[in-house]
């Protein structure tokens, strides 16, 4: 904080108050306009440059005092905490959407909860989804209610207020593999290791995706044959991870052909 001395342009009364240094220094306009509700009872504006010099004053005809609330820091959720906020089915389908680089929209009333869940969920996928940064979106209930449902019909929409899926374009898709992989991670007793294990599974899936795509580029398009070769190189390979990787690779290859 930085202390500034001001002089009321109405009555000449002096007053000191503090302003946040960061807001002044980082203001791209160079000069910040600050509304002052002075102790003398008058309202006016001051213009402050990045050196904290007052460039001028302007009287206000009226002003409205507002309280600026500090946003709570993003909480680091455990894997069970993330799943609980989603609901197990919604979590599985959201994972399915991100793996296939399809749109998922999280809708809710509380913006802080939305942001917290968004950050924690994306972190599970880390760099593997660098090309899918726009595959998930958060939206307030007010924003959602103003949009024509037909414009969102192709998106997975999850209502976080009730942990339910409002629209599911993947309804015909099986998400058993996603659920089974999640259960494997949740079965680990150490809660910190649970999240690490799930992230490792995602990393392995995308490693397998790249390997499978190389096979496809070389003309090998039979999954059974690809799986046989991969299992010969890694006998303990996870079948569910491999099946998910095959689905992702097929989707990505089809996208390249368009």
Beta-sheet strands, E only, within 92-140: 104-108, 136-140
User: Which carries the bigger pLDDT value, residue 125 or residue 258?
Assistant: 125
Q: Residue 40: which pLDDT band, with cuts at 50, 70 and 90?
A: confident
What are the pLDDT digits (tens) for 58-110?
Answer: 776 655 555 556 667 788 899 999 999 999 999 999 999 888 888 899 999 99
Share of the chain above pLDDT 70, in %: 89
**Minimum mean pLDDT range among 34-38, 95-99, 235-239, 240-244:** 34-38
Any idea how long the chain is? 258
Say if residues 2 and 18 touch (Cβ distance below 8 Å): yes
| Domain 79-257 in this protein, CATH class | alpha beta
Backbone angles phi, psi at 45, to 5 degrees: -115, 145
- Cα Rg of the chain, angstroms: 27
The average confidence (pLDDT) of the chain is: 84
Neighbours of 242 (CB within 10 A): 22
For the chain, what are the domain ranges? 2-59, 79-257
Q: For residue 49, is pLDDT > 50?
A: yes
Specify the pLDDT at position 187: 96
Q: Is the dihedral of CA 119, 125, 131, 136 positive or negative?
A: negative
Q: Which residues pair with 47 in a beta bridge?
A: 33, 56
What are the pLDDT digits (tens) for 167-199?
Answer: 999 887 889 999 999 999 999 999 999 999 999
Q: For residue 131, is pLDDT > 60?
A: no
């Amino acid at each position: 904080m930085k202390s500034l001395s001001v002089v009321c342009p109405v009555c000449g009364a002096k007053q000191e108050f503090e302003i946040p240094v960061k807001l002044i220094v980082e203001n791209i306009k160079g000069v910040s306009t600050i509304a002052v509700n002075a102790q003398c009872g008058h309202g006016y504006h001051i213009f402050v440059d990045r050196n904290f010099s007052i460039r001028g004053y302007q009287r206000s005809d009226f002003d409205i005092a507002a309280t600026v609330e500090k946003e709570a820091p993003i909480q680091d959720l455990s894997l069970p905490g993330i799943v609980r906020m989603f609901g197990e089915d919604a979590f599985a389908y959201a994972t399915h959407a991100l793996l296939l680089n399809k749109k998922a929209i999280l809708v809710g009333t509380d913006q802080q909860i939305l942001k917290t869940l968004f950050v924690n969920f994306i972190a599970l996928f880390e760099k593997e989804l660098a090309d899918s940064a726009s595959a998930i979106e958060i939206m307030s209930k007010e924003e959602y209610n103003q949009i024509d449902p037909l414009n969102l019909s192709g998106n997975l929409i999850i209502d976080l207020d009730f942990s339910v899926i409002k629209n599911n374009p993947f309804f015909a898709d099986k998400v058993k593999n996603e659920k089974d992989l999640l259960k494997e991670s949740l079965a680990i007793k150490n809660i910190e290791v649970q999240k690490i294990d799930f992230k490792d599974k995602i990393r392995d899936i995308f490693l397998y995706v790249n390997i499978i795509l190389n096979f496809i580029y070389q003309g090998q398009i039979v999954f059974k044959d690809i799986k046989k070769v991969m299992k010969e190189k890694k006998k303990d390979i996870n079948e569910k991870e491999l099946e998910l990787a095959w689905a992702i690779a097929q989707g990505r290859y089809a996208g390249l052909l368009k």
